[in-house]
Amino acid sequence: DAGITQSPRYKITETGRQVTLMCHQTWSHSYMFWYRQDLGHGLRLIYYSAAADITDKGEVPDGYVVSRSKTENFPLTLESATRSQTSVYFCASSESANPTYEQYFGPGTRLTVT
Amino acid sequence: SQQGEEDPQALSIQEGENATMNCSYKTSINNLQWYRQNSGRGLVHLILIRSNEREKHSGRLRVTLDTSKKSSSLLITASRAADTASYFCATDARETSGSRLTFGEGTQLTVNP
């Protein structure tokens, strides 16, 4: 029972490079989310998806791209990484939206942009 | 802007004592959830309280919700060293669509053995 996994767990990249963070869940949850957590702060929503091929912007979407061709995968791409995108990225999934269900979080990807 | 704000930002207590954390929010909500985050790990859901509920219990956890004051509290009784973690409240605001939660900045709880 893998649950929700993220890869890589740690990534160092240079400014301007494209980076893709992977997220995979085994529960067939409809909803998936990407958050970023900056040191000492809470989570901010980047993008979310209600189902395959349905995505929407969250609070801080600029500089990020998502896709969801399959229910179980929700990759997050930084098209041209900037130092301000250094953060810990968490993927989460949820069974439903109405009413809001609990979200299940992956272990996170720590991204450093140099 | 953050919907939920936790208070205090940091709390240090002795094992066996009770820990109380508060959360305030700004808009009408469908429900409020509490999550725990151990250092270097993802968040784990603790408890969900709906807007028409006033109090909820789960083991050593007690959550209250006062929608008139737009506030919630999380009480951990008989704390243990293993309760050391950051605790976040998250709100499901009525005006947002989908299963979107807005997280506060968290309370860092340290339980000293």
* Number of Cβ pairs < 8 A linking chain A and chain B: 70
Give the closest residue to B31 by CA, choosing from B106, B113, B74, B91: B91
Please state the rounded mean pLDDT for residues B28-33.
90
Identify all chain A residues contacting B45, using CB atoms and an 8 Å cutoff: 102-104
pLDDT tens digits, A85-114: 999 999 999 987 665 788 999 999 999 999
pLDDT tens digits, A20-79: 999 999 999 999 999 999 987 789 999 999 999 999 999 999 999 999 999 999 999 999
Give the closest residue to B13 by CA, choosing from B98, B108, B91: B108
Q: Tell if the CB–CB gap between B30 and A94 is shorter than 8 Å.
A: no
With an 8 Å Cβ cutoff, is A114 touching chain B? no
Mean pLDDT estimate for chain B: 91
Q: Do A7 and A107 meet the contact criterion of CB atoms below 8 Å apart?
A: no
